Structure 1
Amino acid sequence: MTVKSAPRHAEMRQFSQRDNELIVGDLSLSTLAARVGSTPFYAYDRALVEARVATFRQLMPASLQLHYAVKANPMPAVIQCLAGLTDGLDVASAGEMQLALDCGLAPERISFAGPGKSDSELRRAAAAGVVINLESEGELRRLAVLAEELGCNPKVAVRVNPAFELKASGMQMGGGPKPFGVDQERVPAMLEELGQIGLDFQGFHIFSGSQNLRAEAIIESQNKTLELAINLAEYAPSKLRTLNIGGGLGVPYFPGELPLELDRIAENLDQLIALAKSALPGTELIMELGRYLVAEAGIYVAEVIDRKESRGTTYLVTNGGLHHHLAASGNFGQVIRKNYPVCLGNRLASEELEEVTIVGPLCTPLDILASKVILPKAQPGDLVVVYQSGAYGYSASPHLFLGHPAPQQVLV
């Protein structure tokens, strides 16, 4: 089907173009593909990551600490880059902890969260000296036994499951029954037990939700977070040194979504930090961000290997798909499938346009990268680009499904 014009995705202006090609890391996409050597691949633009952190720093209060949540993109080169740009790293497994330690960070700048830490992971974290976010009374008791065996006094924080939720959140991490953290009403008793055991108490981690594009919802959640921390601090065995207020800052993926109004959040944080200085003197406020720092700096690139017609629908069949990019296929939490923004990266514009559905090589109808999108007429060898792919792409996908090779990753 040939059409006269194609809608332009207003949000995909972070990458420039030259000679009708997408530019990534100052390289044309075709040059980058030749340098990588094969498709599919993920590419992350270092300058875009640096610019995102710089903009955040410029807007936010100077005393606000910025941590990178490694789970968003644990590629070692990306972690190394952000270790030098942020104030700390937050990890969710012993594997991620090792990647963070390999960056040369002081252990106290690394925090370890997760509701199912094994004894082996707790032992490794205690021996390394990272801050362990306790998720239950049972975890506290297991860590106490291990610490005695090791002859160390591990740094710990209590992850709190608040009674409130982050409204309009893409993924709820707090409020109601949750496997994450300790219900706020149980925290005072746990803090008393922690004091009796004598572990090195650092503070609280209160994380309500993620992928939120409503500034007013984030502001409300951050206000409630500080209020809760002030109340719980009365039961703490020692003064709070840190308060991790989580993240939740979203990025636009789908039509109709607008970028987050960060300046409004920054203005409110100015007031919260002033209140914290009075009510919780000496406490560092930490914002933990993953997706917000890296998502828009990354693309996924797959090559068209065939085009075919089926009862009025034109399919572009690529060598990439849900086994590489589960989120773009709609099978990573979407209730109703929506397209990530896509383009033909080696031919951004053309007078001849068509409506196509982009699929991968897998023998499943779920293997869809984009449905009914308008692009320049494509041929085998063209490069399909999926934007907004810097977070929860490579590492959140089932690479072993059907035995196809895994994609490559590059930071440029």
Structure 2
Amino acid sequence: MTRPVYVHDLDALAAHVRSVRSALPERVELLYAVKANPDPGVLRSLAPAVDGFEAASRGELRRLAEVLPDRPPAAYAGPGKTDEDLAAALAAGAGRVHVESPAELRRLGALARAAGTTAGVLLRVNLPVAAPGASLVMGGGPSPFGMDPADVRECARRPPAGVDIRGVHAHLASGLDAPLAGQVATAVVEWAVAEVGAAEVDVGGGMAVDYTDPTARFDWAGYGRDLTRILDRHPGLRLRIEPGRALTAYCGTYLTEVIDVKRSYGEWFVVVAGGTHHLRTPAAKGHSQPFTVHRRPADGQPRTDGGRVTVVGQLCTPKDVLARSVDSGPVGVGDVLIFAMAGAYAWNISHRDFLLHEPPEFRTGDPRDVAAGWATRP
């Protein structure tokens, strides 16, 4: 039995990010949200093509310092920042701190004054912007994220010493297609310029990734045209975006071997090594992770009849499901399942210590080559 393995295709990642960069206006700064996948190889591959990195914890600051020591983070974000977090962001030379509340702004100002510096700040605003069809909404109503518009206006009018408020940050929703993302960005910028005179606006990420179609891509060219129109209306504006999942989801693949197949009340279950403690994405998003089957010689091993299957892992919970009732063709013991789109919010968000199973291995390259070279069955 070969341990499950993550494969990062770094060449494909670099090519994808270059295509994203080329579709955007030159004046738009492209940041990568490290939370999506902080793998060192991923960060190094992204570095030449992005304008900076957005960190959301001291751990991510440390990772960036280790992997890219000459590249201070462009932004430091996240709710619930402690004084230690804010001090670490200042020490790391973060270009902008995304401030979540008036109290956080006051604490940051005091820390900056004590350190003899000034913190560049974007105020995170929770705007009532409609986002129909979004998969996850974080704004427009009561939320732990960001500030009400009135609080942002007050902070901008009366900032404490030690901070330089440059503008506004807003990440209001995720799962936005390009037209909706353009509408949200336009609404955020128009509010920020009109209400607080923002010189800079970070409109966040949240670009849609379609797990039902691994070949689909966000319409970066269309989004770029919308951002161009925004910049044409505000020629002096500094505009940023910070995608994560939409950059790295496609570069990661999770390969695992089939341990058993069985029928239960007429339904086929395919049991694989590993599971959602390695790849939590399908459990977190409530979808079936797309996969293909690398079939190996049957050798008399059990095999499904070609009907729908549910793929489960090794955990002692009925929630350990990677794909539910999907068409895959016949699947047999010893086959290798190749789960696509595992390059974001996958291993890094998984409950890896549940049952204390062995972690997966990690490799770089083409996942098809790795699958073809998988040890043959005895």
Query: Shorter-chain TM-score: which interval?
Result: 0.7 to 0.9
Deviation at 1:264, TM superposition (A): 2.3
Say if 2:249 and 2:343, in contact at 8 Å, map to a contact too: yes
Deviation at 1:93, TM superposition (A): 0.5
Say if 2:156 and 2:165, in contact at 8 Å, map to a contact too: no
Ranges in structure 2 where 5+ consecutive residues have no aligned partner:
297-304, 366-378
Partner in structure 2 of residue 343 of structure 1: 292
Letter of the 1:162 partner, please give it. L
RMSD: 2.3
Q: Secondary structure at the match of 2:151?
A: helix
Letter of the 1:137 partner, please give it. P
User: Where do residues 304-319 of structure 1 align in structure 2 (5 Å cutoff)?
Assistant: 304-319=258-273
Say if 2:209 and 2:245, in contact at 8 Å, map to a contact too: yes
Partner in structure 1 of residue 302 of structure 2: none
Partner in structure 2 of residue 75 of structure 1: 39
User: Where do residues 184-263 of structure 1 align in structure 2 (5 Å cutoff)?
Assistant: 184-194=149-159, 196-213=160-177, 215-234=178-197, 240=199, 242-254=200-212, 259-263=217-221
Give the distance between the partners of 2:224 and 2:327, measured in 1 at CA: 38
What is the count of residue pairs matched by the alignment? 356
Give the distance between the partners of 1:372 and 1:72, measured in 2 at CA: 28
Give the distance between the partners of 2:273 and 2:325, measured in 1 at CA: 19
The change in CA–CA distance for 1:345 and 1:286 in structure 2 (over 3 A counts) is farther
Partner in structure 2 of residue 65 of structure 1: 29
Say if 1:304 and 1:381, in contact at 8 Å, map to a contact too: yes
Deviation at 1:146, TM superposition (A): 1.8
The change in CA–CA distance for 1:247 and 1:146 in structure 2 (over 3 A counts) is same
**Which of 132, 136, 150 is the matching residue for 2:97?**
132
Say if 1:302 and 1:384, in contact at 8 Å, map to a contact too: yes
**Which of 97, 120, 123 is the matching residue for 1:158?**
123
Give the distance between the partners of 1:345 and 1:151, measured in 2 at CA: 59
Query: What percentage of aligned pairs have identical amino acids?
Result: 34
Ranges in structure 1 where 5+ consecutive residues have no aligned partner:
1-36
Q: Secondary structure at the match of 1:217?
A: helix
Deviation at 1:165, TM superposition (A): 3.6
Give the distance between the partners of 2:171 and 2:220, measured in 1 at CA: 18
Q: Secondary structure at the match of 1:161?
A: coil
Give the distance between the partners of 2:271 and 2:214, measured in 1 at CA: 27
Deviation at 1:255, TM superposition (A): 6.3
Say if 2:10 and 2:41, in contact at 8 Å, map to a contact too: no
Deviation at 1:296, TM superposition (A): 1.5
Q: Does 1:393 align with 2:346?
A: yes
Normalised by the size of structure 1, how large is the TM-score?
Answer: 0.80
Give the distance between the partners of 1:192 and 1:84, measured in 2 at CA: 38
**Which of 319, 332, 335 is the matching residue for 1:382?**
335
Deviation at 1:354, TM superposition (A): 4.2
Give the distance between the partners of 2:275 and 2:138, measured in 1 at CA: 28
Give the distance between the partners of 2:71 and 2:315, measured in 1 at CA: 44
Say if 2:119 and 2:162, in contact at 8 Å, map to a contact too: no
The change in CA–CA distance for 1:87 and 1:105 in structure 2 (over 3 A counts) is farther
Normalised by the size of structure 2, how large is the TM-score?
Answer: 0.87
Deviation at 1:171, TM superposition (A): 1.2
Deviations 1:41-88 (A, max 9, x none): 221211221121122122221221111000111112211221222000
Q: Secondary structure at the match of 1:189?
A: helix
Give the distance between the partners of 1:393 and 1:244, measured in 2 at CA: 25
Give the distance between the partners of 1:309 and 1:201, measured in 2 at CA: 61
Q: Secondary structure at the match of 2:255?
A: strand
Deviation at 1:356, TM superposition (A): 2.3
Q: Does 1:296 align with 2:250?
A: yes
Give the distance between the partners of 2:108 and 2:226, measured in 1 at CA: 37
Partner in structure 1 of residue 284 of structure 2: 332
Partner in structure 2 of residue 111 of structure 1: 75
Partner in structure 1 of residue 368 of structure 2: none
Deviation at 1:374, TM superposition (A): 2.8
Q: Secondary structure at the match of 2:205?
A: coil
User: Where do residues 94-105 of structure 1 align in structure 2 (5 Å cutoff)?
Assistant: 94-102=58-66, 103-105=68-70
Give the distance between the partners of 2:215 and 2:43, measured in 1 at CA: 28
Give the distance between the partners of 1:345 and 1:387, measured in 2 at CA: 13
Give the distance between the partners of 2:138 and 2:337, measured in 1 at CA: 34
Partner in structure 2 of residue 13 of structure 1: none
Q: Does 1:145 align with 2:145?
A: no
Say if 1:187 and 1:232, in contact at 8 Å, map to a contact too: no
Partner in structure 1 of residue 50 of structure 2: 86
Say if 2:254 and 2:339, in contact at 8 Å, map to a contact too: yes
The change in CA–CA distance for 1:152 and 1:346 in structure 2 (over 3 A counts) is farther
Give the distance between the partners of 2:364 and 2:74, measured in 1 at CA: 23
Partner in structure 2 of residue 269 of structure 1: 227
